[in-house]
A and B are shown apart, each in its own frame.
Chain A
Amino acid sequence: MSMNPEQEDFQQLRRLLALKRHEQPPPGYFNGFSSQVILRIRAGERPERDSLGERLLWQVPWLQQFWASLSAKPALAGSFGVLVCGLLITGAIYSERPEPEQASIFSPSSNLARQDRPGLMTQLSSMRESGVELSSTAGLPTIPRENSLFEEIRRTPQWNLPPEMQPVVERISLGQ
């Protein structure tokens, strides 16, 4: 009965690999092995080579169980991943949306601002002609308080404030 040449070649290799079975640690090595393991467990030692994630799992048992369940059920892990991504995307979209309160009359797009703009520009040009120095702040000229936008708005007929709000506007125009 002739052997497959490949098997016969591997037979030689396997004979050589049998040499490894004869490699033994020093005599008495295993006498204290388990004791060392138990000592380290009692000392509360964590395996040194664990990564940060593995260390976190040791400290939080429920997280370890959760991770184990995810590892055992790929479908659950996938669903969890989709949920997390969805939450992140939703959060990112929501954070980009401007606040409704911020779309106020003071925004350039508001009707009132547009209506005020010609009046404001007229005031600025008249101030420039009269030699009033206008300091610039980030490229925009500052308006003297007595000609503030708040004052302008207060005088605007379309700004129909209830009477109880009028003092508030006046305080704003005075810079209080």
Chain B
Amino acid sequence: MIMAEPASRKAFQKPDESAPPPTPAPVPVPVEEMVLVRQARQGDLEAYDELVRRYQERIYATVYHMTSNHEDANDLAQEAFIKAFRALNSFKGGSSFYTWVYRIAVNKTINFLKQRRNKSQLSLDDLDFNAEHDPDLVALISDKTPRRDASLAELQEKLNEAMQRLSEPHRMVVTLHDVQGLSHEEIADIMECNIGTVRSRLFYARQQLQGYLSDYLK
């Protein structure tokens, strides 16, 4: 008579030593960017999909901060990637692919904004839950600021309105430097101007914003 093993014993049974050890899940190794570009240039859309995934958030963010409109940013960001794919043969590798796509998105956005006759309505993305805990914002919304009762939503709206009052090149340098943290050199490369121009535009743009937002700044 064969008695079934108690369940408790089964739990402590040693694994079958003859079975091969389970292979660990493969860690995805980031493929070098130029390899993906080469493959995409040959028509490999999966390779290009990977490139899009790598930079979609930054490209979208740049376009959104320039337009303050989620729908426009969605369209323009997609069109920038489509245009980049069509122009892959002209990418010579002098700069990184990221910089090159950035440049396409920046130019496309500036052209779009210049052609837009009437200022579009703001269509702002929501603030994430970390905004209220951001030390910069906490320091700003303190008893030292003139409008300490201003809510974050109001600040967001006023800030975007002020940004929209800047010219496109000035808005772009503020977006790339003060919002996205790019260096002057990177901005000069993307905007195809010299570093002095970047610095002077940044200074002027900050002065303008400071004037527009004086009610909310010390």
Contact = CB atoms under 8 A, between A and B. Distances in A.
B79 A68 contact: no
Interface in B33-87: 45, 48-49, 52-53, 56-57, 60, 64-65, 70, 74-75, 77-79, 81-83, 85-87
Interface stretch (B8-16, B18-26, B127-135, B182-190): B127-135
Interface residues on A, range: 35 or more
A126 B137 CA distance: 109
A33 B86 contact: no
Contacts of A48: 75, 79
Contacts of A18: 134, 136-137, 179
8 contacts: A9-B218, A16-B217, A20-B65, A24-B128, A41-B85, A45-B82, A47-B83, A48-B79
A12 B217 contact: yes
A64 B83 CA distance: 12
Contacts of A41: 45, 48, 82, 85
A162 interface: no
Contacts of B193: none
Contact of B45 (A9, A30, A42): A42
Contacts of B64: 23, 25
Interface residues of B, number: 56
Interface of B: 45, 48-49, 52-53, 56-57, 60, 64-65, 70, 74-75, 77-79, 81-83, 85-87, 89-90, 108, 111-112, 115, 124-128, 130-131, 134, 136-137, 139-140, 152, 155-156, 159-160, 174-175, 178-179, 206, 209-210, 213, 216-218
Interface of A: 9-10, 12-26, 30, 33-38, 40-42, 45-50, 58, 61, 64-65, 68
A20 B213 CA distance: 14
B178 A47 contact: no
Nearest to B127: A22
A65 B92 CA distance: 12
B60 A25 contact: yes
Nearest to A23: B125
B90 A68 contact: yes
B85 A19 contact: no
A33 B213 contact: no
Given A19-B127, A26-B126, 16 more contacts: A14-B136, A16-B159, A16-B216, A17-B174, A20-B175, A20-B179, A22-B131, A23-B125, A23-B127, A25-B74, A33-B52, A33-B60, A37-B52, A37-B78, A38-B48, A49-B111
Contacts of A40: 78, 82
- Helix, strand, loop or mixed for chain A's interface? helix
Contacts of A23: 64-65, 124-128, 156
Q: Which of B48, B89, B128, B136 has the most CB of A within 10 A?
A: B136
A145 to B, nearest CB: 67
A19 B152 contact: yes
A17 to B, nearest CB: 4
